[in-house]
Homo-oligomer: A and B are copies of this chain.
């Protein structure tokens, strides 16, 4: 695990591993240059930090790879671009590394960045530049860019009473993945949970749930499609369905009703919940990080294919689940869990 490399070697390793669409000017000068044909840049920034957003070694024994970190940093930022109804066009990334991280980790990181862009379908997304430096913990900040291609952004504030609320993407898998990774292994092998290994080399069903946390797959492309289909409000669910629905409710000045039956957990979760002796609904309603989209549509014509109807908007305020205020629904069904994630709380 010895580091012992120069800044030049680190940058060369990154540039060798990065593959993406070409910007007007890529890394190597004081700044890069990106084409912004419609004259408006959509931009967002997000940092992931060791021990806050991931563990280098999880309680189950799984060792987070550079690939996982590179993938996730890109995915969650492209998700914010997607949530505006925009098409990802570029990123810049700043990487802080402790002294015990070697060039092999950096190589893996660059591959994760490249594959995330590619496999999420962001084929126009160029790697424009970055920064590298030292820190006591691994920390990655990605700034992402997007284009509305002449369209209007889909804000959180545009929902109207009577609108249908719909979701595109999975709910709860990312949060269940954290709980799996946080589960101390009882097996003979490192990172063995539920008699299966969480490992790149032997993909077993439980691994797919851990992967939803390690390498989330936001539905990139569904954002612009929803915009073109007339979505009136949209965001990505990064802090939990209830908390993010509350943001749309507040910004739009109305009340959002969710039907719990419509937010049923994916089948993988039932098995994991049984094993961990938890309630899968907790992950679905309060877990973020699947980066699904939540959007409001005029009931006629309603959401495009690929979206699930989960509720509706009406006059009032806050979020209601099965006609109860979300807080009392949580108290009754999930032991009064907090509605979502606040790193400072």
Residues of A within 8 A of B (CB): 3, 5-10, 24-25, 28-37, 39-47, 49, 51-53, 80-81, 83-84, 86, 90, 92-94, 96, 128-137, 139, 141, 143-146, 148, 153, 155-156, 234-236, 251, 342-345
Contacts and interface: CB of A to CB of B under 8 A. Distances in A.
Per CB-CB distance, the 3 closest pairs between chain A and chain B, nearest first, are A31-B44, A141-B141, A30-B83
Contacts of A146: 31
A44 B91 CA distance: 10
Contacts of A5: 344
Given A32-B43, A46-B131, 5 more contacts: A31-B80, A31-B83, A47-B141, A134-B344, A136-B136
Nearest to A156: B29
A49 to B, nearest CB: 5
A136 B51 contact: yes
Contacts of A25: 153, 155
Contacts of A29: 84, 153, 155-156, 235, 251
A40 B34 contact: yes
10 contacts: A29-B84, A30-B44, A30-B84, A31-B146, A32-B42, A32-B44, A33-B153, A43-B128, A47-B94, A49-B133
A44 B129 CA distance: 7
Nearest to A24: B40
Most B-side CB within 10 Å, residue of A143, A155, A343, A345: A143
Contacts of A345: 6-7
Identical subunits present: 2
A87 to B, nearest CB: 12
Most B-side CB within 10 Å, residue of A34, A128, A134, A139: A139
Contacts of A40: 24, 33-36
B7 A45 contact: no
Contacts of A9: 344
Contacts of A32: 42-44
Given A80-B31, A134-B343, A345-B7, A143 B41 contact: no
Contacts of A344: 3, 5-7, 9-10, 132, 134
Contacts of A131: 45-47, 141
Given A30-B83, A39-B39, A141 B342 contact: no
Contacts of A53: 133
Contact of A96 (B30, B47, B134): B47
Nearest to A11: B344
Contacts of A137: 135-137
Given A25-B153, A40-B33, A133 B342 contact: no
A42 B49 contact: no
A133 B54 CA distance: 13
Given A7-B344, A141-B94, A30 B235 contact: yes
A8 B243 CA distance: 13
